[in-house]
């Protein structure tokens, strides 16, 4: 079971809102809107995705990683490594 299962509908709602932002960007390009206006919307969509990612990461750390750490062993090492790799990817993006 995924750690976000209890909040799945809230996560999906946020993703649908972000999807709408992306579709809005497509319309802006189709309508030849001003570059700076498009870039402003790109920034907003990027921040929305970053916020979503951080919330999901927090959920993962507070459930999956904590549970694995309590159990110990290889699973704990794997979960910590996965989380560390995910954080590194988020920082680079």
Q: pLDDT tens across 28-63, in order?
A: 999 999 999 999 999 999 999 999 999 999 999 999
Going by pLDDT thresholds of 50, 70 and 90, the confidence category of residue 1 is low
Q: How far apart are CA 58 and CA 53, in angstroms?
A: 9
Q: How far apart are CA 71 and CA 60, in angstroms?
A: 16
- Are 48 and 20 spatial neighbours (Cβ–Cβ below 8 Å)? no
Mean pLDDT of the chain: 93
Question: Tokens 């990683």 sit at which residue?
Answer: 65
What pLDDT score was predicted for residue 3?
73
- Are 90 and 54 spatial neighbours (Cβ–Cβ below 8 Å)? yes
């Amino acid at each position: 079971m995924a750690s976000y299962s209890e909040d799945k509908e809230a996560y999906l709602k946020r993703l649908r809102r972000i999807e709408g932002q992306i579709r809005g960007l497509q319309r802006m390009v189709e309508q030849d809107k001003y570059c700076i206006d498009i870039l402003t919307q790109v920034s907003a969509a990027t921040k929305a995705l970053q916020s979503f990612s951080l919330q999901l990461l927090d959920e993962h750390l507070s459930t999956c990683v904590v549970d694995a750490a309590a159990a110990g062993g290889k699973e704990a090492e794997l979960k910590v490594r996965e989380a560390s790799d995910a954080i590194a990817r988020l920082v680079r993006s």
